[in-house]
Structure 1
Amino acid sequence: MRAIWKGSVAFGLVNVPVKLYSATEDHDIPLHQVHDKDGGRIRYQRKCEACGRIIDYEHIDKAYVEDDATVVLSSKELAGLPAERSREIEIVEFVPSAQLDPIMLDRSYYLEPDSTSPKAYVLLRRTLESTELTAIVRFALRQKTRLGALRVRDKALMLQSLLWDDEIRTPEFPALSTRVNLSSKELEMSSALVSSFASDFEPSQYTDEYQLQLRKLIDERLKTGTTVDTAATFGEEEQQGGDVIDLMDALRRSIEKNKTTKGRGKGTAAKVPARSSRKKAQKGA
């Protein structure tokens, strides 16, 4: 795993240096879009609607629209906000774990000790374990001020970002206000059905059947040779604006173009050394 953030946990006057790692990963097989007729790649471009040019990430800012006015905010301005500059996970209170509604849980992260001595880290971990409480924290990550829950999992401190209260919608469905009469027999039968399914939850017993079948389908296509040449899916001509092109193809065409240009100027085409000759020349150098 690679750390995505470095900072510290502020536990009163105790400072715990930590590294932040994503605790989950996506196991889905990556797929991209292609033209159904020829298999050519279909890409999404960062195209400016004002000038029509394809824009590099370094020239992209953020903006907020309100009515007919747009406020443009540069990366430098956003990075200058106090909350974004903070590298501290501040513990603000400890609450009973049962008070955390699961709907509030967002992303999960592991915290690794980032000091020569993990004593402060272990102290905080054991404190959480002994009190059976969850620490509510405030922190900043990826240009957002966040609320989080700090708890222990497999001897590691786990930070789970929480949704803000105003980000959770209230279910307002007309059917929920309709009066429904249920008999005691119906409730009894429903409880019996639940009991028949009751067991201990073991996540390892469940698998993603869709991904398994998708992998099987891909393997069968690869085995039978029912495929398209990957280089051909990029097309013959590079377009302006940073489209991804095949490097070897670009080098080959550059050599051909250079040969043609020299041939026109001197009357003879430039000779390209054979591969074995080039290797010998490189060794000699």
Structure 2
Amino acid sequence: MPDAISPLIRTDIPHSARIWNYWMGGKDHFEVDRLAGDAGAEVDPEITTMAVQSRQFLVRSVRHLASEVGIRQFLDIGTGLPTMQNTHEVAQSVSGDAKIVYVDNDPMVLAHARALLTNTTPEGVTTYVECDYHEPEQIIADARNVLNFNQPIGVMFMGVLGHAKTYDDLRRIISTVMDAVPSGSYLTMWDGTTDSQAYVTLCENYAKTGGVPYVPRPQDEIRAVFDGLEMIEPGFVSITQWWAHEDDRELADAQPISAYGAVAKKP
């Protein structure tokens, strides 16, 4: 944990980003988060698998876009706490000149971003924007200071849109960002689904703690955010079953979990 804790950071209320960090095996959490995380894992033991596999999905998708498609710009919205194999580390390991803009509005995330989200190569660019994803127009305006919106961009919403106020708002956020990026850009997105009652109960219990509610949605609602885009293989699947290359199979758990997503190209 940082030596100095921002007065804006609540240590008496569990926070989803810190709990997620705890489930992933990170170090950036408080006792209240560990208690909430343990309680959640008792209700839904699969949640730690979801946390770990979500990062494997990020690694596989970013690596594919950087190495096979040639994407050199990434806009990672709702970054969460830096852990391991972050977007810039994966992208810049493939292409040293990759540019990554992280977006979050949580004070603890931003404190860590300042310290940890730094270039891994001299020619790359790694920066962050302080903004709420409910304000996509502002995100785009700020990202234009770093990214070239005349060239393809990899847009990422990785397990964060359950915090959207409504489903219509979720669709608005994604469509606003994807309308702003050029043809040849990609949307990478996953989220938890209502397939698992244990996961639904976990989210309901979390809302009772005072944390910002997280709303799981049916698979068809998440799939619909890719309407008008061209999904790459294997399409819309559980994140444990998404891989672009046979070599990635060894990284993936063949059993599906209640977290679904895809990678799709803007025509």
TM-score by length of structure 1 reads: 0.16
> Which one has a bigger Cα radius of gyration?
1
| Larger strand percent | 1
